[in-house]
Structure 1
Amino acid sequence: MKLLKLLGALYSIIGITRSSSVGGDDDGEYEPRAPLGEKEFRQELQSGLHLVEFYSPHCPHCLEFAPTWHETWRKFRKEGERLNISFVQVNCIKDGDLCNEEGISMYPAIKLYGPQGFIKNYPSDYERTEEDLITFARQETLDSINMEMIDPDISSKFLDAHSFNELLAGRGKVPYFVSFWPSNDYEDPLAESKTYDFCPACQSFQKVWSQVTKRFLIHGVDTGHINCEALPDLCHEIGFDMLVNGAKKEGNYPRVALVLPGNGVNNLFIYENGFSSSVWPYEDFVARAISNSKAPEISMEQILELVRQDFQFPENMDHPIPSQALHVVLSYNPDNVVSEDFHVLEHLVNHLAKIPNAYLHRSKDDVSTAAKLSLDYMYEKINYNRSEPVKLPKTEYLELNLFPQSPTFYIFKEGDWVPHLYVGDSTTETRNVEALAKWFNESALPVISKVTSHNFDRLLNFQPSEYDAVVIQLVDLTDAGSIKTSNDQMKDFLTAAYDYEDVRMQNVVNVRAEKRVDKNTRVKALKAVKASSDKIGKVYHEEIKLEDKNKIVLGYVDISKGLHILEDLGFHKGRNDYKSGDVLVVDSRSSAFVEDDVFGNRLTTGSVYSLRETLVKLILPELSSFHENLKSHELSFNYSRGLDIFGPMRTHRVWRYFLVVGVLVLIIKTLSFYKSFKAKKNYNAKRNAIGILGQPSKRSKD
């Protein structure tokens, strides 16, 4: 659903361009078709889709709407022929019986028809404009049920080197999605006679590409395909070496790339997420790349709406899990922004295309205020315990993180109450593409991840300098009732996580303040002993970096199909009666996990306070008021990274002992070397003396 909304928004970006380009310059020679009589109306409906306007020539609203209908028909006529949908009219004064049969009570009425008759009314939330009429027509041909009825004649274009290079030069009229194929000949890879005995994935992708072609044309995107055996130089240049002589390589599959029209710079985007037999990943990739290439404006209100979309499992099990999209926002001041500040955006599209659900925006609103209001929302949620002092945003943390110079980048995640700021020493660092791309990857985790045996290792090792634990809630998504219960538990789970985040923020501020005090103390001590200005200056100018660490990764495991999934994740030594609402905390530093709280009770979402205090005790024990150690169990997860001989050393801090031993050995070796050197020097000095066995010195020779 979210993707359809995004694609709908893209129509406004590329739709009118496509319509005008498809219509051609000769459309002015054509007049709209004459209104259909009853017999023509029935015949017309036997094939294709038809958007029908029922009107009266005496109706003022109809007369006012007539130029819009005419212009829409003119622009969309040729594209409509390809999509097998037409715009037609019925004069209800001339054919009143037909309009009466169709239930027309007011004019103008716009309805959609197909071979089986009436389908739906033109939506009331759509404007009667050229743009919305064309968008509605495209969306209806996109509908799988309608598509089965109309079977539009759409095909991918077999591209030669010249055609593709023209696209790369930015001379295309619309976005082009291109597939690149391995082959054992120079023929069209999609020819009906083409077989792929050497490439099973290619056989599967032939059907996928046919669906892609139909759906993408409706989105205003053309498709083409290239034979890499026939055009090896082109495929080498793009980086698809594996497709040249591809028939001789096992495990091969077609690659795809998107080419955008424009200035021919940074307009090629390669899909790098592997092979899929589903249309959706490619559709998402193209939709986001097109949207991100425009970096549309986003308002402060829209940002706040995003972050306040609290994560919830859909109670209808047929609906997808929330995407938890990541939104990168360039915040700028229109009064002092320069063109170079925007040039970086086109270089970021390719990096964001590799991150699922990542979107790029720009905003002239006060984004720092949106960030503060987002945190205010967090504090509304975590002030649940009236027996505790009221928790307030940490002013110094806000100043360090949320109030930069303009322009700069923020990241807001759907459902994440804590905003993320790109911290740089100067505004020019907002143009450092590689640094920004690194920051995107470091911030790529959603608020809460589904934990599986495929991603558990990555979650445990995610940014180890900043993240110390993976906190997992068990959920049961069997039916609507259990999903509702899991959602209620999820609210408490997230509240406890952000409650811990408040403690962590305060600790970050305190640690930095302690370092500042230590620095000032050392400066005073140096001044007291009248140290040189160089020594004092060196200490005085030491940078106290913000150590934003001790964070947690949040995840969930669905146990509706049994507890064996927990065994697959390595929780063999835990209890055998886990249930929805239980929480497991895995210490990423030691790979041990905790399943009981600081009171020795079962760790669950039932007590937000207990869960918060357990996290504090495990990750920031120096801040905990609980003295008893938490009982932990060894995690026996089969890590995918292979043999790690240094793992036990890191786990038990054995490396510290090796470091001490190494330093001692180095000192002993240095002393031994010095003694040997001294002895040798003395020996040589004796040999240089005059004697029976000695050699005459230079002085004696003289």
Structure 2
Amino acid sequence: MRLSVISLLAIFASTVVCDEQAVAEQQQQQVPDQQPEQIEQSEPKIEYPSTMGLKEFDKLTNEKLVLVEFFSPYCHHCKAFAPVWKEAYLKFKENYPDYNIDMRQVNCVESGDLCDREHIDFYPNILLYAPVLDKNGDKTGKSKSIDSFPRGVDRSSENIIKYLQEAYSEYDSGAIGMPSSSKLLDIDSMLRVIDGDIDNPTFVAFFPVSEKEWEIVDNGGKAGFTNQPEVVHAKQIWDRLSNKILSISDTGHFMCKDNPSVCEKLKINKNYPQFVMFLPRSIGVVRFDYDDFVEINRMKKWVTKLFQNSRYEVVSARGITEVMEFTKVLANQPIPYVYPLQSKVLVLFFYDVDNVTPEDEAILPHLLKTLQDSPFNVELHKAKHKKIEENVITMGKNLIDYINYDETEKYQYDQVLSLATTLTSKPTIIILKDNSLIANVYQSFAPEDMRTYDKVEKFIQQSQYPLYGHLTPELAPYYFDKSEANKDDLVVAVFVDLENLKDTDSQLYHLSLIAHEYHYLQQQQYYEQVLKSRQDKFEKAKEQTEALEVLKELREQVPHLWTKNDRVLFTFIDQPKAFKQFRNVKGWKLNPRNYQVGDVVILSKDNTYYWDTDLEGNKLTNQPKNIKKTLLSILNKDNQAHRKIVGSPYGGILSFMDYVHDYGFLGYLGFFITIYLILFALFNARRFRIRKRSSPNSSGILGNFDGAKKD
């Protein structure tokens, strides 16, 4: 078949068009292949690292700050958290490439030896590691865990990045120049904060300056805060603090010079900086004023404590072990502690989930206020699991085994006594302490018991002390005060050397024994008094003949005597540093140089009396049996223990003067009047004897007459 010229031209044209389209498509396909190369050349791709083993972990953490997530591939929570961790890593590396801090992971199935060494008990566990430095600030080739991701903070990628910023700001020396994260608050924003119309806690600094003056200083000017050195210092602290609490609180600053009426209504000091934390309205209380020193670590600790406690987080029986050194059994041997001790005290609002009411939970804001004022490491949680009640009973049983250290004197578990001291309705308050088998239970038998806030507050204040705490100058005013209500309370202090860790562990073990034993003996004694009081009440009722009188006697309330004020607190003092630390403490008159490591002194809580000898007159040392006998003698007031006066200048053969010194001016006045009367009586007696000797003997009125007789 022949083809016409026109047909040939048409075929040729279509072939050319197809070839051009093929070339164009080929070029289009090559463009995407070339784009990544161009991007990689301009912006290097961030690689997501693999998990670390033991060697890489030690090498990396010995050199820099590292936030480490310990996880298990079989953990459901770890699987859900994995994309969040990856997102945080990529965003952090992209936005903060110059920060000298890293994020890595450890698979605890593949690196079980590492996780065992680091005591990883749950997953995911996020810990911050830093190099260990020597006294000169040089790296030692070792590392340690210095912090953990805050419990109760949502583990979102944003919060993880904020925490990394905090860590870098606090622990890396190159972070001094970080800009402040605090935001200037205008009046509208401030009014929302004051009203609690906020999603996050907001820590606000009120400065007695204007916005213009603030900007001058922010931009490097020196004349912004003229003649206000305290404001300059407070701003420096505030700028750094704002970067250290990013993950737990928003921060803002308000200029009182520009807005005097607002600050006046809030009762803000117009001459000095003032710091106030505002909480969301849903917490139940909005405003908390910070009234301690303007010092960055104190302020961060205060904010962290308020944030954690204001969440009212529900904790399970197992969860308690994650927030404190909880135990149901103690071995009869020293515990290898890590110093300084955390001395955590856990306050549980324990309730029945089926019967709790909003009126019951109205006490939570009051608890929050009380605990925020406490100087101790006290943490507030809600709890509802019945296992916690069972644990309290188990602790009471195991306490008996723990204090049976003396073969000559054995104690038996008394179930009736246990019920009498722990029986309560719900809701109630249960207080647990680090490494303690003692659970303080607020015994509530009617709804009004938990709604009498003064009564609950008193219980918290009496139970806030750790089982044995480090007595420091800062805590001395809380262990000792002149209140009449505390005159029968005692403080047991053992002298230790915190440089000798093994010996200190041993000293605290002995102190733990006597603390647990005294607690049991005190409850036993009080319970016996309650039984006796009840028996006396029934006997009086039997003596009555009228029915109304019988009812009157039976209605007479028998008090719970274990709420009396003869409590004993247990502490330890670092003897080598004590003299220097306590010499400027107001009201402290005990000389630590008179004691050695292992010595014990018992002081009255009003800091008036002390005992440092046992019943035989020997120096009182940290032996549980001797301390027990001395304590019981003091509490029973049998005068066997020798009482001394704190700050008395007398001793030795003049120790009797302690009784004079005890009464102050009146004592000395009475003493000198007595001495005067005695001397006066002796002087008159002597004059009488002299007169009697010198007077002539006479049988008559005129006496004898020796002259010659005349007729």
Above 0.5 in TM-score? Answer: yes
Match of 2:214 in 1: 188
User: Which residue number in structure 1 is paired with residue 466 of structure 2?
Assistant: 446
CA distance in 2 between counterparts of 1:630 and 1:74 reads 64
1:542 maps to 2:556: yes
Which moved further from structure 2: 580-589 or 130-139?
130-139
Task: Note the C-alpha offset of 1:487.
Answer: 1.9
Render the CA deviation track for 1:188-239: whole Å, top value 9, x for unaligned. Answer: 386454644554332221111111111222x153211112232233223333
Deviations 1:58-107 (A, max 9, x none): xxx9xx99997599649995997489779999xxxxxxxxxxxxxxxxxx
Query: Corresponding residue for 1:227?
Result: 255
Q: Specify the alignment match of 2:663 in structure 1.
A: 648
1:526 corresponds in structure 2 to: 544
Please list the CA deviations of residues 361-386 of structure 1 after superposition, one character each: whole Å capped at 9, or x if unmatched: 11111233232223334323211012
Letter in 1 for 2:374: I
1:254 and 2:273 are equivalent in the alignment = yes
**Where does residue 504 of structure 2 map in the other structure?**
486
Mapping of 1:405-484 within 5 angstroms?
405-451=425-471, 456=476, 458-461=478-481, 465=485, 468-477=488-497, 479=499, 482-484=500-502
Closer, same or farther in 2 for the Cα pair 1:76/1:291, shift >3 Å? farther
Distance 1:592 1:343, change over 3 A: closer
CA contact (8 A) 2:495 2:595 kept: no
- TM-superposed CA distance for 1:432, in Å, is 3.8
- Preserved CA contact (<8 Å) 1:51 1:85: no
Contact kept? 1:522, 1:539, Cα under 8 Å: yes
Question: What is the TM-score with the length of structure 2 in the denominator?
Answer: 0.65
Q: What are the equivalent positions in structure 2 for 1:672-687 lying under 5 Å apart?
A: none
Q: CA offsets per residue over residues 306-330 of structure 1, 9 Å max, x none?
A: 34398999989xx752232222111
Alignment of 1:158-173 (within 5 A): 158-173=184-199
- 1:140 matched to 2:170: no
Post-superposition offset of 1:158: 1.6
1:331 and 2:350 aligned: yes
CA distance in structure 2 between the aligned counterparts of 1:590 and 1:169, rounded to whole angstroms: 44
CA RMSD of aligned residues (A): 4.6
Q: Structure 1: which amino acid aligns with 2:567?
A: K
Out of 172, 194, 200, which is 2:229 matched to?
200
For 2:617 and 2:456, locate their aligned partners in 1 and report how far apart those are by CA, in whole Å. Answer: 44
Map 1:236-247 → 2, pairs under 5 A:
236-240=264-268, 243-244=269-270, 246=271
Q: 1:254 to 1:592 in 2, by over 3 A?
A: same
1:561 aligns with 2:577: yes
Amino acid at match of 1:324: S
Task: Name 2:290's counterpart in structure 1.
Answer: 271
Q: Is the contact between residue 593 and residue 634 of structure 1 (CA under 8 Å) also seen in structure 2?
A: yes
The one of 349, 359, 371 equivalent to 2:368 is: 349
Task: Specify whether residues 430 and 236 from structure 1 end up closer, same or farther in structure 2 by C-alpha distance, changes over 3 A only.
Answer: farther
Contact conserved, 2:208 with 2:255, CA < 8 A, in 1?
yes
| Counterpart-to-counterpart distance in 1, 2:417 and 2:37 | 68
| Distance change (3 Å), C-alpha of 1:149 and 1:536 | closer
Q: Which amino acid aligns with 1:524?
A: K
Amino acid across the alignment from 1:603: L
Following superposition, the deviation at residue 629 of structure 1 comes to 2.1
Q: Is the Cα contact below 8 Å between 1:271 and 1:354 reproduced in 2?
A: no
**Equivalent position SS for 1:131:** coil
Aligned counterpart, 1:287: 304
1:330 aligned partner, one-letter code: F
Amino acid at match of 2:185: L
Closer/same/farther in 2, CA of residues 468 and 396 from structure 1, 3 Å limit: farther
Q: CA deviation at 1:583?
A: 0.5
Q: How does 1:20-419 map to 2 (within 5 A)?
A: 52-53=48-49, 69=83, 73=87, 81=95, 131=155, 136-141=160-165, 142-143=167-168, 144-146=170-172, 148=174, 152-183=178-209, 187-188=213-214, 191=218, 192-193=220-221, 195-196=224-225, 198-217=227-246, 219-240=247-268, 243-244=269-270, 246=271, 253-261=272-280, 263=282, 266-272=285-291, 274-277=292-295, 279-303=296-320, 306-308=325-327, 321-356=340-375, 357-366=377-386, 367-388=388-409, 390-419=410-439
Alpha-carbon separation, structure 2, partners of 1:88 and 1:597: 57
Q: Deviations over 1:157-210 (max 9, x none)?
A: 121221111223444343321111234897538645464455433222111111
Q: Partners of 1:631 and 1:540 in 2: how far apart?
A: 42
How big is the shift at 1:617? Answer: 1.4
| Amino acid aligned to 2:517 | D
Aligned residue in 1 for 2:645: 634
2:69: which partner in 1?
none
The one-letter code of the counterpart of 1:578 is Y
Corresponding residue for residue 514 of structure 1: 532
**SS across alignment from 1:411:** strand
TM-score, structure 1 length as denominator? 0.66
| 2-structure distance, mates of 1:584, 1:651 | 28
Provide the rounded CA distance (Å) in 1 between the counterparts of 2:621 and 2:101: 59
Check the 8 A contact 2:530/2:560 in 1, yes or no. yes
- Structure 1, unaligned stretches of length 5 or more? 1-32, 45-49, 56-60, 90-111, 113-119, 247-252, 623-627, 639-644, 653-702
Structure 1 window deviating more from structure 2 (484-493 vs 196-205): it is 196-205
Number of residue-to-residue matches in the alignment:
539
Q: Is the 8 A contact 1:473 1:581 kept in 2?
A: no
- Indicate if the aligned counterparts of 1:84 and 1:152 stay in contact, CA closer than 8 A: no
DSSP-derived class of the 2:621 partner = coil
Report the equivalent of 2:617: 600
Task: Give the 3-state SS of the residue equivalent to 1:188 in structure 2.
Answer: helix
C-alpha contact 2:486 2:605 (8 A) present in aligned 1: no
Mapped to 2, the partners of 1:198 and 1:324 lie a distance apart of 43
| Distance of 1:629 and 1:467 partners within structure 2 | 19
- Residues 236, 149 of structure 1: CA spacing in aligned structure 2 closer, same or farther, 3 A cutoff? closer
8 Å CA contact 1:496–1:611 kept in 2: the answer is yes
Q: CA deviation at 1:254?
A: 1.9
CA contact (8 A) 2:180 2:240 kept: no
Counterpart residue identity of residue 459, structure 1 = Y
Distance 1:539 1:284 in 2: 53
Native 8 Å contact 1:178 1:257 kept in 2: yes
Amino acid at match of 1:140: L
User: Structure 1 residues 549-558 or 341-350, which shifts more?
Assistant: 341-350
3-state SS of the aligned residue for 1:468?
Answer: coil
CA distance in 1, matches of 2:101, 2:606: 65
Q: Paired residue for 1:698?
A: none
Gaps of 5+ in 2: 1-34, 52-72, 104-127, 129-142, 650-659, 668-711
The structure-2 alpha-carbon separation of the partners of 1:262 and 1:83, relative to structure 1 and needing over 3 Å to count, comes to farther
1:297 match: secondary structure: coil
Q: Distance in 2 between matches of 1:147 and 1:558?
A: 31
The percent of aligned pairs where both chains have the same amino acid is 18
SS at match of 2:432: strand
Shift of 1:338: 2.5
**What residue identity is the alignment partner of 1:181?**
F
How has the CA–CA distance of structure 1 residues 145 and 426 changed in structure 2, closer, same or farther, with 3 Å as cutoff?
closer
